[in-house]
Amino acid sequence: MQIKDNKLVGVAFRATPNKGSVITPIYIVMHYDAAPNATSAINWMTDPKSQVSAHLHISRDGVVTQLVPFNQKAWHAGVSKWNGLTGLNSYSIGIELQNTGTQEYTDVQLNTAVEVCKAIIANYGIQDIIGHSDIAPGRKPDPGKQFPWYMFKPLIK
């Protein structure tokens, strides 16, 4: 996968109004969408009433939809803290994976997520891949105990 002008090349882009100022990301934050299907999740993240978004959504069949350019703030982390920083939206790229929170992730979804993370890491000064549960402990459980960290942590050199 390639990134050009802060967007993944060759994936659908559906702009959301739920975004903020320019950022320099140093983290990738993994989430699950807790939605019944990809369309529902994407519609929610592009609805101004929701006040939430993410940079990317990856469906269970590996379809990637980008909602926010990587150099803009997406509203995925909420009240959050990590490594001395607060408000992780200002420091991270948010990736939502289609999952109700109780499902196993699919192989194609995970393989796509790994390729996406590799491209992001190659283009930005990413220091770590973390979970929503890491930056909002007790408040958010995603990406859940079924998330295979062993596939993602080695991507950070």
pLDDT at 157: 81
Count the helices and strands in the chain (H runs, E runs). Answer: 4, 12
SS3 38: helix
Catalytic residue of the set 33, 66, 96, 116: 96
Q: What is the pLDDT of residues 16-46, one digit of tens each?
A: 999 999 999 999 999 999 999 999 999 999 9
pLDDT average, residue stretch 124-138: 96
Q: What is the pLDDT of residue 19?
A: 98
Report pLDDT for 156.
95
- Each as own residue / partner, the long-range contacts of residues 37-43 (CB below 8 Å, 24 or more positions apart, any chain) are 37/98, 38/63, 38/65, 38/98, 41/96, 41/98, 42/14, 42/67
User: Is 96 annotated as catalytic?
Assistant: yes
Q: Domain 3-127+135-142: state its class.
A: alpha beta
Q: Give the per-residue pLDDT at 116.
A: 98
pLDDT digit string (tens) for 109-126?
A: 999 999 999 999 999 999
